[in-house]
Chains A and B, each alone.
Chain A
Amino acid sequence: MKPRTKRAAWIAAGVAALGVAVALVMNAFQSNLVFFFTPSDVAEHKAPRDRTFRIGGLVEEGSVKRNSDALTVAFRVTDSVQTIPVTFTGILPDLFKEGKGVVAQGKLGSDGVFRASEVLAKHDENYMPPEAAEALERAGGRHLDKSSFAGQMETKGNRSAKP
């Protein structure tokens, strides 16, 4: 091969490899996006049935029920208009409390119960997870606003993953 054709072949190979990489990235991206829905959205059947998504709002007062011999917790998440029952098995984050903001990630069962695989709560007592705040705002215009007080570490302190 002439040097020029050779170089062209190398460049073509490089572009092809890059194309494959981009395709892989985009594919992984598409299949791992997690969308957010408010309890009202879920009540209006806007949320998907077979896909993981997030819901957010307040933990309804008096709704937390623990199973006495396992780590299963049932509670209700509300945006002050609609309420969604949630179950979670595992250890909840430190700031999970009745009347406080919460975000849960999981799937909606056919019985209408949201089965959370992960529960997130914010690590500043006054602070509302942004998604939860948005849910309340969308539902009833209750305006919550608080810019973050310490950025760096907080945002990742807020989850309780199920291993």
Chain B
Amino acid sequence: MIPELGHFALVIALALALAQTVLPLIGAATHRRTLMATARPIATGQFLFVALAFAALATSFVTSDFSVVNVATNSNTRLPTAYKFAATWGSHEGSMLLWTLMLASWTLAVAAFSRHLPDRLSARVIGVMGFVSAGFLLFMLLTSNPFARHVPALDEGRDLNPLLQDPGMVIHPPMLYMGYVGFSVAFSFAIAALLEGRLDAAWARWSRPWTTAAWSFLTIGIALGSWWAYYELGWGGWWFWDPVENASFMPWLAGTALIHSLAVTEKRGTFRSWTVLLAIAAFSLSLVGTFLVRSGVLTSVHAFATDPARGIFILIFLVIVIGGSLALFAWRAPRVGLGGGFAPVSRESLLLANNILLAVALAAVMLGTLYPLFLDALGAGKISVGPPYFEAVFAPLMAPAVFLMAIGPVASWKRAELPALWTRLKWAFGVAVAAAVILPFVFGRWSPWVALGLLLSIWVIGASVAQVRARIAGAAQPTLGAKIAAQPAHWWGMVVAHLGIAIFILGVTMVKGYETERDIRMVPGDKTTVGGFEFTFKGTKDVQGPNYIAVQGQFEVRREGSPDVVRIMQPEKRAYSAEGQTMTEAAIATRLLGDLYVSLGEPVSDGAWGVRVYHKPFVDWIWGGCFLMALGGFVALGDRRYRSRLAARNAAASGLAAKAA
């Protein structure tokens, strides 16, 4: 009964999504207020029905209703309840439903927080979001019904893939999807502006917080995925340039370019067409990413051929959304205008350089990700593009971008003077160069890549400190606290996010430069020394988990030359009962200056095991940096001018004035 209710709720949600598309868009085109006014109530209704469908599916999972195919293939009675719930989005069908729920939630948020916007703009934004939602609902109902029944019910489910039975899995996909889907708001704002044929500073101001929020969620989502891979896959890598990862990284690159381009559009009215194009690109890449990962095309292009309905629907939907919006762009962009000029050295030109570098990096990632798929689809042979390609391309493109990133916030709009920039940043530059030359010797070994990484990281930190000092010193407030509070939140957000990049680079540099990885054969009693710690293998014991049995290795960790055991590490090799899958569960000692990482390979001969013993210096700084970036985004959201209606009205007025001038 409950699955049928969920299915029925999806059908009603589809009808509402269609109404949400058609009525407000017609209303906006014909200036009919009554039609435009339907946007908010319909969006609310659509959210309620999608949420109902999601609740129905979650209930089927939690109560282990194995008459639902989706539940039977992805859950099991012995699965802990939290994972039963998380299994709701563990399958293709469930993840599509989660996607749609996120979209409905963002639409609800837009409906609630857009009351200060012109009626036509908000009606169009909600209408476009309704269209996207209708596409996804139709896709689910026609090709991927999450509520499909299997009669008679199975006695036991196939179990959730053990890799996904992890706390990271509970929050990673929702965060990632919050980001992906969040870009639909920026996209809808862009489409609304194109339909309107008007795009000004006020428009940029309205779409900025939505874009920043989506970008922050996406950053957290990607970081969680990377962290999950690091501790769950059992071999200590944190980024693989795998198509699945690239699928989420491409919209991130486009989104990063977009939030910077939006800043220029808001402050200077420039880059308008480019901003619109980026907004379209960010969401299109989110769609492509979702489908790449979820359609099975990555595991095999031929999976498409086995289920043509799904593949063809996806392609048609992508063509309509991407092709349609690009056609609209080509038709309307000339009206949107280019905006004012700027000098070769100015904040605009630095942000332009940032955007170009990000766009080239995006194109390079796209080439490496999609080219093998195209070749395979054409039957021209199988190839793969490994991490060396991405690393060879990415470092040279991002190094100048990060270098300029430190200068950008200090440079003035329109025209900046190089001598003035040098005066403000010379200390930061001096410290960065000195650190790059000296610090690698302190850590043990000098190499050009480590030096470059340290240079960039400390250069960004130094420039941020210089900038904060100058702002605080120049503030008129009497106390330090008041001076700090007087700076706008969006500026603090930028500082925090840029520091996040610096911390991230520091982490990557240290791990790449100084990690120790040792794969060795150990019998009980064997010792090995890695990263200044001595590991003693004491043997294994058997342990019993809720839905698995495991062999648990016992390792004593001592500082080199000291008799005291500082830690016992217990990596596991698990065998999951339902599907008989084997899983490696690494033991990780997280420390500020570097992780110790032990994982069990396989039993080699009697009592001996293949063991991975790693030391990963500063590895946690990688994710720390990502969380700082996201935090910066959330801090920026707190800016008063995004919330105050008065400010919005003033902005609208000044935007109009700018247009008239």
Where the two chains meet, the residues of A that have a C-beta atom closer than 8 Å to any C-beta of B are 10, 14, 17-18, 21-22, 24-25, 28-29, 31-36, 54, 66, 68-71, 90-92, 94-95, 105, 123-125, 127, 130-131, 133-134, 145, 147-157, 159-163
Contact = CB atoms under 8 A, between A and B. Distances in A.
Given A68-B604, A133-B300, A155-B299, 18 more contacts: A18-B356, A25-B363, A32-B388, A34-B384, A34-B385, A94-B583, A147-B303, A150-B161, A151-B296, A152-B173, A155-B243, A155-B244, A156-B229, A156-B233, A156-B242, A156-B244, A160-B235, A163-B518
6 tightest Cβ-Cβ pairs between the two chains A and B: A91-B601, A163-B517, A32-B389, A36-B382, A28-B392, A147-B303
The interface size bin for chain B is 35 or more
13 contacts: A24-B396, A35-B383, A71-B519, A71-B521, A71-B601, A94-B583, A152-B293, A153-B161, A156-B229, A159-B235, A159-B240, A163-B236, A163-B519
A148 to B, nearest CB: 4
Interface string B339-364: 00000100000000000100010011
Given A33-B383, A91-B612, A123-B163, A152 B601 contact: no
Nearest to B372: A33
Given A34-B383, A34-B384, A91-B612, A147 B296 contact: yes
Contacts of A145: 302, 306
Secondary structure class of chain A's binding surface, majority of residues: mixed
Nearest to B233: A157
A41 to B, nearest CB: 10
Given A91-B601, A163-B519, A151 B300 contact: no
Interface of B: 73-74, 90-92, 95, 161, 163-164, 169, 173, 228-229, 232-237, 240, 242-245, 293-296, 298-300, 302-303, 306-307, 344, 356, 360, 363-364, 367-368, 371, 381-386, 388-389, 392-393, 396-397, 517-521, 579-584, 601-602, 604-605, 610-612, 614
B604 A71 contact: yes
Contacts of A147: 296, 299-300, 303, 306-307
Nearest to A29: B389
A94 B385 contact: no
Nearest to A70: B521
Contacts of A123: 161, 163, 581
A29 B244 contact: no
Contacts of A71: 519-521, 601, 604, 610
B161 A90 contact: no
Secondary structure class of chain B's binding surface, majority of residues: mixed
B529 to A, nearest CB: 16
A69 B521 contact: yes
Given A124-B161, A148-B296, A157-B233, A91 B383 contact: no
Given A130-B300, A147-B296, A91 B389 contact: no
Contact of B294 (A18, A25, A151, A159): A151
Contacts of B363: 25
A91 B599 CA distance: 10
B517 to A, nearest CB: 3
For B388, B393, B579, the residue with the greatest tally of chain A CB atoms inside 10 Å of its CB is: B393
A24 to B, nearest CB: 6
Contacts of B396: 24
Nearest to A91: B601
B87 to A, nearest CB: 10
A33 B368 CA distance: 9
B164 A150 contact: yes
B168 to A, nearest CB: 9
A91 B602 contact: yes
Contacts of B397: 21
A153 to B, nearest CB: 5
A34 to B, nearest CB: 5
B311 to A, nearest CB: 11
A149 B91 contact: yes
Contacts of B303: 147-148
Nearest to B298: A155
Contacts of A157: 163, 232-233
For B236, B303, B382, B388, the residue with the greatest tally of chain A CB atoms inside 10 Å of its CB is: B382
A14 B243 CA distance: 30
Contacts of A162: 519
Contacts of A161: 235, 237
Given A152-B244, A153-B163, A34 B307 contact: no
